[in-house]
Amino acid sequence: MTRPAPYAALLVAGCLLPAGAGLPVLTGVPVAAAASAPADPALRPVDQAALQSAVERAARRLEVPGAVVLLRTPQGTYRAAVGTSRLGEEQVPTTAQHFRIASNTKTMTSALILLLAQDGRLRLTDPVSRYVPGVPNGDHITLGQLLKMRSGLYNYTEDPRLAASLDADPAKARTPREMLALAFRHPPNFKPGASYEYSNTNYVLLGLVAEKAGGTPLARQFRERLFAPLGLAGTSLPGIADTSLPTPYAHGYMYGGTAYALTDQPYPADLEAAARSGKLQPLDYTHQNPSYATAAGGAVSTADDLATWTRALVTGRVLDPAHQRQWLRSPQAEDPAAPPDGQSYGYGITHQRFGPDAAMYYHGGELPGFNSFIGHDPDHDVTLVIWTNLTLSPGGRTTANALLPTVLNQVYSGLALPTDAD
């Protein structure tokens, strides 16, 4: 349940597939052109064939079973699909297939918290102890600090006992309280507000805050306040014992044990070599129980729904104008020494500039089986969703993130970012 790495980390070149390991290549879906859209000099004329070709090359280098790109610009809607949604079968990946969106769920949790603030049921300056007892430093950690990853609380997914438990019993239901107990066995890493550190513990806590303030289960609030108003029929937060995915769905894969996704532990050289040679096959993680993730990363969606969601969130269809301004202004530099246009994290959202005319509000999702990216550029009305059904490439790349430069080069004038398609 991680998020996109800073852009510099996205540029490491991938590796070619070994001989005989080629993936089925699928043709792109024709563009739905917006003939009357005025020309924007910051945007290239998107070429469907060129986009499809670039995604194919990058996906082959990353050795993903399947990948989907959904791109919406003022010119129209473009789709590129590569490979298969289930190994051993020729199943075309589509933008309507369900997959586990992992930490992209945080954009939904943060939006719900702001809606509850909008209702007057909570304030972002409230201490978390007002809603959840027993939190270390809970009297001094505000809800706003949880939203912006500035609580200092230990990230429970870093505890190796969780990965070991998931490997031993992947179908087991795990409650938010159990995950917090795991986190609170460790001392905080810094004083509230003193620094930034991405921690899933923050958002598991926010899920409990939302239930306390909203008075109903998180899944119901998501459905009634976020999904139904926007027509997101393919999006849901599964019940604690539900390991299924709605049909149609993609299978999700990863090499090795769960720890490689939860702790960003690099692949050892022997595993990498075996994966690249084809001697080691990826494991199917499709039905691992995501209950350990809940508000931090448990949701299921489709590329079509996520494109609607991320654009609605960034353009003000979810929050009222005052809270929308607060949300848009919330990103704060993760590294105070970084350039002003570097990666910033706000209320469940990242903002980053990729070039003079290329900047997005975005998030990413990573858990065993899937990797994904969602983003919207409000300046140029560009919406982008990428998902793959391989968490990490054999070389240890987060696969959807690694595809990002390939797609951005197809969208923005003046960008020539190094990519896995090169």
pLDDT, tens digit, for every residue of 114-172? 999 999 999 999 999 999 999 999 999 999 999 999 999 999 999 999 999 999 999 99
d(C-alpha 314, C-alpha 162), whole Å = 34
Q: What's the pLDDT score for residue 337?
A: 83
CATH number at 330 reads: 3.40.710.10
Instruction: State the pTM of this model.
Output: 0.92
CA distance 367 to 302: 16
Q: Are 403 and 51 in contact (CB under 8 A)?
A: no
Q: Quick check: is 2 in a domain?
A: no
**Beta 66-73 vs 382-388: how paired, if at all?**
antiparallel
pLDDT digits over 284-313, tens only? Answer: 999 999 999 999 999 999 999 999 999 999
Question: What's the total number of domains in the chain?
Answer: 1
Q: Is 108 exposed, middle or buried (0-12, 13-18, 19+ CB in 10 A)?
A: buried
Q: Within a domain: residue 416?
A: no
**Going along 94-179, which residue ranges are E strands?**
99-100
Q: Which helix (H) or strand (E) holds 76?
A: strand 76-83
Residue 339 domain boundaries: 7-411
Using an 8 Å Cβ cutoff, are 62 and 420 in contact? yes
Average pLDDT over residues 332-351: 90
Those residues with Cβ within 8 angstroms of residue 75's Cβ, 6 or more apart along the chain or in another chain? 31, 33, 34, 37, 43, 45, 46
Q: What is the structure's pLDDT at 421?
A: 63
9 has pLDDT over 60 = no
Three-state DSSP class for 61?
A: helix
Helix spans in 12-71 (H): 48-62
Task: With respect to residue 101, please indicate whether it lies within any of the assigned structural domains.
Answer: yes
Question: Band of the pLDDT at 265, cuts 50, 70, 90?
Answer: confident
For residue 419, being part of any structural domain is answered with no
Q: Is residue 354 in some structural domain?
A: yes
- Virtual torsion, Cα 239, 240, 245, 246, nearest 10 deg: -10
Residue 287 belongs to a domain: yes
Is position 291 within any domain?
A: yes
Token duo for residue 130? 């007002």
Please report whether residue 176 resides in a domain. Answer: yes
